Amino acid sequence: MTNAQSSNRPDSSMLAEKPLSGVTVVELGHSVAAPYAGLILADLGARVVKVENPGLGDYARGWGPPFWNGIATAFHALNRGKEGVSVDFRDEAEVGALKDFILAEADAVIQNLRPGILDRFGLTAEALRDRKPGLIWCDIGAFGATGPLAAKPGYDPLAQASTGIMSVTGEGGRPPVRVGVSLIDMGSGMWSVIGLLAGLIARRETGEGRVVSTSLYETGLAWMTVPLAGYAASGEVRKPFGSGTAEIVPYQAFETSDGWLMIAAGNDNLFRKLCEALNLPSLATDPDFATNAARVVNRGRLIPRIAAATVGFSVEALGQRLDEAGVPNAPLLDIAQVAGHPQTQALDMVVKSSSDGIELVGMPLSFDGKRPRARSGAPALGQHNGVLEE
């Protein structure tokens, strides 16, 4: 390595806090999936340039209330740390400037627009990689690139419904329930980032980029890995167990005198400790409950007996008792309790953006004890249009 090459490399402290420093990503996305991918990359130190329509911009700007400085907090949460440009796709000159920027500056493009939209403007993986072979192009689709649903538009709850997630969520005999966060969208963004990072590593050896594809439907199927394996093995169609799970008992929330406590007795030894803590030692030696397989079969008889014991304690008292016994447990907290919890504060996960003061959750990753974090706020619509004119 020459001295010039060495001097251009980021120092180790920068790599610790911003391991993707020097990488430029263009985000042609809206809503959650592509913006969440861009958020991860921005926190990791990449330069992320978000492209929006000059009219309303990303739909998520209006997803409120609540709003912060006139923009939905959802948009702030998903788009901090990015540069923002607006491009009128009806204007050939603006589209040309975007293409030129991608060809000159971008290492990767992430997009989650409806199939066919970008084709009209020559903004496709094939067209751009033909001129820039090292470009990594990441598609986040709805139902996948092939198959009978390939052209169908999709959102997170549609994927939760169609991949079976909602069928194992909630309680039997009650209306369907979706997972309360955008599990599919955010998971698809994460898979896109994993593929993009793998592409960057491979490009070091070959000089070639690649097309990375994922979708909401594929992500939903991946979350259903264990239930689908269970069905393949037994033919059993899993049902929802509320806070519990099909494969482990007891592994659910139990009511106490003043709230709910999640108890996770994930093996036979933990079940024995739980029984001792609840003054129910005979349950641990009962052949109907002594093994997890037996407890799963006899769930309907076991759970009421445990529940009858837990209501005699407060959340705090039972939690302390189980902690002392070595049984994993946690109280069910609401959002305000989570935000103010000492553990949340100790991890420094929630930080104010430097530009607008809104408190936003950071990345659940640390490198050498330092959490990567883009400190600037979400961009105003078209705030950085000048970068396309340089």
CATH assignment at residue 303: 3.30.1540.10
Residues 370 and 327 in one domain: no
CATH number of the domain at 136, please: 3.40.50.10540
DSSP H or E segment with residue 71: strand 71-72
243 part of a folded domain: no
**134 lies in the same domain as 185:** yes
Residues 134 and 274 in one domain: no
Alpha helices in 207-298 (DSSP H): 216-223, 225-234, 268-277, 281-285, 292-297
Q: Would you say residue 236 lies in a domain? A: no
Say if residue 174 is in the same domain as residue 296.
no
Q: How many domains does the chain have?
A: 2
Query: Domain check: are 152 and 100 in the same one?
Result: yes
Helix, strand, or coil (residue 94): helix
* Residue 243 token pair: 């806070």
pLDDT at 38: 98
3-state secondary structure of 353: coil
Tokens representing 316 are 């705090």
Angle between helices 268-277 and 315-325 (to 10 degrees): 130
How confident is the model at residue 373, as a pLDDT?
A: 87
- Of the residues 43, 185, 258, 288, only one is catalytic, namely 185
130 is catalytic: no
Examine residue 343 and state whether it is found in any structural domain, yes or no. Answer: no
What's the rounded Cα separation, in Å, for the pair 316 and 256? Answer: 9
Q: Distance between the two ends of the chain, CA-based, in angstroms?
A: 32
Query: Is residue 347 domain-resident?
Result: no
- Of 314, 331, 348, the last residue of a domain is 331
Residues 93 and 162 in one domain: yes
Among 315, 331, 347, identify where a domain stops: 331
Domain boundary among 285, 313, 331: 331
Q: Is residue 159 part of a domain?
A: yes
Rounded CA separation 69/61 (Å): 11
185 and 287 in a common domain: no
> Is 75 in the same domain as 11?
yes
pLDDT tens, residue by residue, 229-275: 999 999 999 999 999 999 999 999 999 999 999 999 999 999 999 99
Q: Does residue 23 lie within any of the structural domains? A: yes
Instruction: For residues 210 and 317, state if they share a domain.
Output: no
Would residue 239 count as lying in a domain?
Answer: no
- 270 is in which domain, residue-wise? 251-255+260-331
Tell me: do 324 and 369 sit in the same domain.
Answer: no
Question: pLDDT value at position 105?
Answer: 96
The ranges of the chain with pLDDT < 70 are 1-16
178 plus 82 within the same structural domain: yes
CB contact at 8 A, 250 and 270: no
CA 390/CA 381 separation, integer angstroms? 19
Residue 58 counted as domain residue:
yes
Res 54: pLDDT = 94
Beta carbons of 29 and 40 less than 8 angstroms apart: no
Q: Are β-strands 83-86 and 71-72 bridged in parallel, bridged antiparallel, or unpaired?
A: unpaired
Entry pTM:
0.91
Instruction: Provide the 10 A C-beta neighbour count for residue 372.
Output: 21
List all residues 6 or more positions away from 215 whose beta carbon is below 8 Å from its beta carbon.
Answer: 140, 141, 142, 143, 144, 145, 154, 188
With residue 43 as reference, give the H or E element that holds it: helix 33-43
What is residue 262's three-state secondary structure? Answer: strand
What's the confidence (pLDDT) of residue 8? 40
Quick one: 318 and 370 in the same domain?
A: no
